[in-house]
Amino acid sequence: MKIAIKEDILKEEDRIGAENRREFLARGVAAFNLIGSPGSGKTSLIEAAYRELGGELAIGVIEGDLASDKDTVRLRNLGLPALQINTGRGCHLSPLMIKKALPEIDLAALDILIIENVGNLVCPVSFDLGETAKIGLISVAEGDDKPTKYPLLFREAEVVVLNKIDLVPHSDFDREAFYSGLRAINPAIGVIEISCRTGEGVEEWGSWLRERVSSPAGR
């Protein structure tokens, strides 16, 4: 009985995710589900996207955190329209949360909607919010073994962003180990190496987004 109810809920979530996707397509918005650990640099990556593309593309943000509006305030101060969702005890954003937030956002005015999911490499992967693509973010400080230990995200993401490469000389992060672990899970996945701190790789991050926006229906 318990299992049947869980399946029904998941089916309902999938249905709402599909509804969100139709809404994004109808409004011509490319939606990105940004998934990474707490502190990996999700908000920094959004800031970098805005600095790189803000002049040519209209970017909006949904922020998912258990509590507080810290990131929303941070992004709004930069000039980005951002909306906060607090999940309380929830370890991920759900399609229903996004659906409820959409009327608050002027989608027609946007080219890109970046959804910063709750910091977590596990639960957010299981929910299709209706995004155009999932972006997997990992930072050098977390270690080179994360693709091997948390394969789900690296299987589902369309691209992996490796942030904080400025820290490579100060850590035991082994690029070869990282790439061989990642390739074992997803041989074809693209990787963008970046430092939101120094600006290295930000141009490539902007180019990826620009290209992805021009083909929103998928690859």
Ligand X SMILES: Nc1nc2c(ncn2[C@@H]2O[C@H](COP(=O)(O)OP(=O)(O)O)[C@@H](O)[C@H]2O)c(=O)[nH]1
Nearer to ligand X, 167 or 191 (CB): 167
The token pair at 186 is 């997803």
Helix (H) or strand (E) holding 5: helix 2-26
Give CA–CA dist 210/57, Å, rounded.
8
CA atoms within a 13 Å half-sphere pointing along the CA-CB vector of 148: 9
Q: Which of these segments, 45-53, 69-77, 101-109, 159-167, binds Mg ion (CB under 5 A)?
A: 69-77
Note whether 42 binds ligand X by CB under 6 A: yes
Task: Give the integer Cα–Cα distance in Å for 175 and 160.
Answer: 14
Of 17, 36, 181, 206, the one binding ligand X (CB under 6 A) is 36
Minimum separation from the CB atom of position 205 to ligand X (A) = 11
Pick the binder of Mg ion from 16, 32, 41, 71 (CB under 5 A): 71
Note whether 92 binds ligand X by CB under 6 A: no
By rule CB under 5 A, what count of residues binds Mg ion? 3
User: Which of positions 29-58 make contact with Mg ion (CB under 5 A)?
Assistant: 42-43
What SS3 state is found at 66?
A: coil
Short-list 14, 4, 72, CA closest to 42:
72
Query: How many residues contact ligand X, by CB under 6 A?
Result: 16
Residue 206 interaction partner, one of Mg ion, ligand X, none, beta carbon < 5-8 Å per kind: none
Structure tokens at 173: 């992060």
Q: Which listed residue (11, 26, 39, 108) binds ligand X by CB under 6 A?
A: 39
Query: Scanning the structure block, which residue is given the tokens 């902007």?
Result: 206
| 8 A C-beta contact, residue 63 and residue 102 | no
Residue 5's Cα: distance from chain center in Å? 29
Choose the one of ligand X, Mg ion, none that binds residue 164, judging by a C-beta under 5 to 8 angstroms depending on kind.
ligand X
Within residues 176-195, the interface with ligand X by CB under 6 A covers 195
Asked whether the beta carbons of 205 and 41 are under 8 A apart, the reply is no
* CB 80 to ligand X: min, Å: 13
Residues contributing to the site for ligand X (CB under 6 A): 36, 38-44, 119, 163-164, 166-167, 195-197
Residues contributing to the site for Mg ion (CB under 5 A): 42-43, 71
